[in-house]
Amino acid sequence: MPSVILDTNLIVLLTVGMTRRDLIGKHKRNKTFTVDDFDLLCLILESYQKIVTKPSILTELITS
Chain centre distance of CA 29? 10
28 pLDDT above the threshold of 90: no
In 3-state terms, what secondary structure has residue 20? coil
pLDDT tier at 62 (50, 70, 90 boundaries)?
confident
Average of pLDDT values for 24-46?
92
Q: Which range has the worst mean pLDDT, 2-11, 13-22, 25-34, 50-59?
A: 25-34
Chain centre distance of CA 25? 13
Q: Give the pTM.
A: 0.85
Query: For position 48, what pLDDT does the model report?
Result: 95
Domain edges within the chain: 3-55
Asked if 25 and 36 touch (Cβ cutoff 8 Å), the reply is no
